[in-house]
Amino acid sequence: MGFLFNTQTMKDDKIEDMSKEERLQLEEQAIEALLSYGVKFSVPLKIEVKEPPRWIRSLGRVLPKIRDSWRNKNIPKNWNVDVAEVADLNETETKRIYKRYFHIKPLYLGTMDIIRKLTIEIDFDEVKLQENSIPEGERLMKYISLMAKIVAVATINCSEVANVDSKEVADLQQFYLSHLTASRLQKLCSIISKMSDTAGFTNSIRLIRVVETPQPKADRVE
């Protein structure tokens, strides 16, 4: 997945040996970490790494700031991008690629409300999925673009900017559509769902209603 902040802190074999109570406690700790710090992740770019011109490399020996300030013109200036060494699947050597870094910070209430409005657009029926898993699964694939938009809104995390019609959301949504695999998109949506803490809000509403509900007065006996 490429996460810099890993919500799973233990190996799968150790988790399997844990009791149900221990697993619940671990999950609660992971959700609390998401709510407090958010999640960082990186996305490989489809741009070939380009080295600075020779004159910049030569001048950079004396003035490192000039070398470090050089940037591939194919990469927008507002992108947080770095060069990383990764293993080449077809060769034994490593190769250098560009990675764009993101940080989905703890969600603001306005962002969560936008995500809620987008989520209810998804027509999901568990019964239909169980009865006709293949055709129903294929039908749900049409929501891939909407899921990418949800991730974009969560990444921007500013209700004044991240409305569903903004150019910033559309650009980031298109970036995710062209750079994320299905499994990575699913994992991000799952994390965003946990960060929304629907269960926590439900419990809060339940507690508020209990506090606000007036207790019936006992009938007065004359």
52 or 40: which leads in pLDDT = 40
8 Å CB contact between 44 and 1:
no
User: What is the residue-averaged pLDDT of the chain?
Assistant: 77
Least confident of 67-71, 162-166, 201-205, 213-217: 213-217
Fill in the amino acid letter for 87.
Answer: A
> Which of 123, 183, 111, 179 is closest to 150 using CA atoms?
111
Residue 202 confidence (pLDDT) above 50:
yes
The residues spanned by each domain of the chain are: 108-210
Question: How far apart are alpha carbons 131 and 154 in whole angstroms?
Answer: 33
Write down the pLDDT at residue 30: 72
Question: How far apart are alpha carbons 199 and 207 in whole angstroms?
Answer: 12
> Which of 16, 32, 17, 37 is closest to 194 using CA atoms?
32
pTM of the model: 0.71
Question: How far apart are alpha carbons 16 and 14 in whole angstroms?
Answer: 5
